[in-house]
Amino acid sequence: MTDVKRDPSVEAEKREYTHAEQSSQSDDFDPKNKLHLDESNVNAKLANPLAGIPHAKIEEQALSFAHSHGLSEHADLIRKGALVAQDPLGFDSLSQLTPEEKAELQREQTHRWDQPKTLYYLVALCSMAAAVQGMDETVINGANLFWPQQFGLFPDEPGRGRDQWLLGLVASAPYLCCAILGCWLTDPLNRMFGRRGTIFITATLSWLTCFWQGVTNSWPHLFAARFVLGLGVGPKSSTVPVYAAECSPAPIRGALVMMWQMWTAFGIMLGFVADLMFYHVKDTANITGLNWRLMLGSAGVPAIAIMAQVYFCPESPRWLMGRGRYLDAFESLCRLRKTKIMAARDLYCAFTLPFYLIPANFIMMSRHPHLAGR
């Protein structure tokens, strides 16, 4: 097979992994023996937690993992994936891999954005969720020019301080809800319904409350609708970036997780576009304030797309593993990775890394207590 041209950045990363492996002296390390890790190799373990473990030990542990977690039919793949996980850039030296598998792994390093369509479908879902977040934040700005007068509030007039406070209260109601309820509901929702279920529930709440805002008839009514909107805003903003991170491959994970901020900003722009689009809409014989009602309701349109799309995406492999569903996690990773050897590698990484990093972090915190507060 013809040698593939090496990427200088890949070679540099490979040298870093080699250095970390040489720094580690854990030949008899067992991932379930958390007390084995000592201070002298903490940094090496954080850089490459599997470095220094003999291949025979890695293979034994990988096969044990596969047979004890319902993955017996994929045991050979898990075994090879574990060897790749030990040194992701040193797979050329592994005799256990076929030439085709080595070529696939090399291509992953040189063509990082060559990913399955399913992954980009998931990226589109997370981007849409971020855009909904941005629209929920900004459509109220245009509506604030109209609804106060219709509901008997005149914040621009002298001596109407109470009206100014009420205007601010209604505008900030979603964030008030996020602080009081939303942040506390994020973990229970994720535990019970998973990443996809939480995104579906919050998107449904966003859609319903946007429609609700458009049919309100008083400022307390509008406040109530926007307060409930916070139940969709808070958990969604906490779940979507985590979902993206847990599903993304390591070479492009940072870029895909960062898209939350970018597409939220895009949604902020869309919110102002909607405000301008409906600004001059006239009232009808039966509807007063049609323009601001359309502004607030427009943010619910992309939420419908999220509701329709989310269950066509695979569930987070990490969440599935946390529920003991390792076979489902592997199948999910197979949809999110180009090849099965990559899926096996990432599955084994996700399973073993907590055993290595938790004791390493504990030692770092005990030696440097000031870091614990950062």
CA dist 164 and 169 (Å) reads 9
CA dist 342 and 336 (Å) reads 10
CA dist 170 and 227 (Å) reads 8
Residue in the structure block whose two tokens are 């993955």: 71
Homologous superfamily (CATH) of 117-318 is: MFS general substrate transporter like domains (1.20.1250.20)
3-state secondary structure 121-138: HHHHHHHHHHHHHHHHHH
According to the model, what pLDDT value does residue 132 have?
93
Domain with CATH 1.20.1250.20 in the chain: 117-318
Q: Is 156 exposed, middle or buried (0-12, 13-18, 19+ CB in 10 A)?
A: exposed
- Closest to 55 (Cα-Cα) out of 11, 93, 20, 89: 93
One-letter amino acid at 320 equals L
- For 274-283, which contacts have Cβ atoms below 8 Å and span 24 or more sequence positions? 274/135, 274/139, 274/142, 274/298, 274/299, 275/138, 275/139, 275/141, 275/142, 275/143, 276/142, 278/142, 279/142
CA dist 71 and 64 (Å) reads 10
**Residue 278 near residue 185 (C-beta atoms within 8 A):** no
**Residue 65 near residue 353 (C-beta atoms within 8 A):** no
CA dist 175 and 167 (Å) reads 14
| Residue 17: φ, ψ to 5° | -65, -40
Query: Is the whole-model pTM more than 0.85?
Result: no
Residue-wise pLDDT for 17-74, tens only, equals: 454 444 444 444 454 454 444 444 555 555 567 777 788 888 888 898 889 988 899 8
Instruction: Please give the torsion angle defined by the CA atoms of residues 231, 236, 242 and 243, in that order, rounded to the nearest 10 degrees.
Output: 120
Residue-wise pLDDT for 277-319, tens only, equals: 999 999 888 888 999 999 999 999 999 999 999 999 999 999 9
According to the model, what pLDDT value does residue 35 have?
43
